[in-house]
Amino acid sequence: MRSGLRVLALAVCASGLLASQRLRAENCTTQSQMQPEMRDTLTAAAASLAAKVEADDAPGVRALTIAEFKQNFTGIAAAVAATAPKLKGAVPQVDQLYLLDASTLKPGANGVNPDAQFFCTLNKSASEAEFSIPQLPPGRYAFTSVWMDQANPWLLSFLLRQDGGSWLLAGLYPKPLTANGHDGLWYWKQARSYEAQKQSWNAWLYLQEAHLLVQPAVFFSSTHLEKLDTELQAAAPPAVASGVSADAPLVVKAGNGDEFRFTGLTVDNSLGVDVAAHIKVDSIEDVAAARKRNVEAMAALLTAHPELRQAFHGMWVFADAPGKSPYATELSMADIH
């Protein structure tokens, strides 16, 4: 399983890159191109951070974080606390290193830092890793991934920045590499199987699941991810081919004539592999009424697309009202009638 995940997460995008983009790109050095001293330094920095995350040592992580994030560390501390219990007993292995030199970047006339692009040629081949990081301050950065080897493997990716003689944390990206015991490649293959069975909703959502498991960070792209995204777009049922949003909702009518406007439809792995849907509502009433409406929205969606029952553990519905926090309801498929 590990080799398949590696190929998916780290094989990279080569086609369709314009020459003008390359001219604007910053400098990237891959692991095989690094001097041994630099490779050892980045490996040690990544391994140290991974050990502290595994140990739930937020103060230790904070001590190795860039100054601007030290001042507002709440988000990183929460990520460490949420991730650490998932890593107990894991064996960390530094898996990938990229040196990303953005030292020549300059803020625009408005003082805003520009978006940075890095194209990293792998093993003297046509393949490349692409990083597109928005509003990146000037500096020397590194992207490192640490494989947390265990029954349910995780990947800890870090964006590091060189401050003086130290490489400090500038971004933390923890993620599981499996869901319900399966990796991204498995969900990709299952999506193709569903597509062959004309189950386009299951295929489309399983491709979303595959993408979620494969991509190590939102600013990383790869050949496999681009291919996956192409399949995802092609697999979308006609009703959602243009996307699902507040401006273009998926409208589903219940048997009693009630209408539900779904503004988002994706997957959720918090309790299993579930369908996750958002509905637009005018207001959140009392809890009982809000829950009843969410359950009715679930039933309406499953009545319209019954194939979803066989592919997913259950469903989440989030009711979104202006100025209110979403009201969420989760049920297993067997409990949705």
* Residue showing tokens 């595959």: 210
- pLDDT value, residue 128: 73
Model confidence at 15: pLDDT above 60 = no
What pLDDT shows up at residue 126? 56
* pLDDT attached to residue 17: 36
pLDDT above 50 (res 10) = no
Residues 55-74: what's their mean pLDDT?
97
Residue 222's pLDDT band (cuts 50, 70, 90): confident
What pLDDT, on the 0 to 100 scale, is given for residue 19? 37
Report pLDDT for 174: 98
Helices within the chain (DSSP H only): 2-10, 19-24, 36-54, 58-63, 67-70, 74-83, 184-196, 200-214, 223-235, 287-304, 308-311
Is the pLDDT confidence value at 125 over 90?
Answer: no
With contact defined as beta carbons under 8 Å apart, do 179 and 266 qualify? no
Q: Is the pLDDT of residue 141 over 70?
A: yes
Kindly report each contact of residues 192-197 with a partner whose C-beta sits within 8 Å and lies 24 or more positions away, as own/partner: 192/231, 194/307, 194/311, 195/235
Closest CA to 65 of 89, 85, 84, 48: 48
Q: In the predicted model, is pLDDT for residue 1 greater than 80? A: no
Instruction: Round to whole Å and give the CA distance between 119 and 221.
Output: 10
Residue 320 pLDDT > 80? yes
Phi, psi at 7, each rounded to 5°: -60, -45
Residues 200, 235 contacting (CB under 8 angstroms): yes
45 closest CA partner among 60, 28, 71, 64: 64
Alpha-carbon distance 305 to 201, whole Å? 8
Supply φ then ψ for residue 264, to 5 degrees: -160, 140
Residue that is written with structure tokens 């503004």 in the block:
263
User: How high is the mean pLDDT of the chain?
Assistant: 91
pLDDT tens string 280-306: 999 998 899 999 999 999 999 999 999
Query: How many angstroms separate the Cα of 241 from the Cα of each of 190, 199, 225, 312?
Result: 20, 15, 19, 21
Q: In the structure encoding, which two tokens stand for residue 25, read together? A: 């790109």
Backbone angles phi, psi at 247, to 5 degrees: -80, -25
Percent of the chain with pLDDT over 90: 85
Check pLDDT > 80 for residue 111: yes
Q: Kindly write down the DSSP assignment for every residue of 159-176, as one continuous string.
A: EEEEETTEEEEEEEEEEE
Domains (ranges, CATH) in the chain? 12-179 (no CATH), 249-337 (3.40.1350)
Using only the alpha carbons of the chain, give its radius of gyration. 22
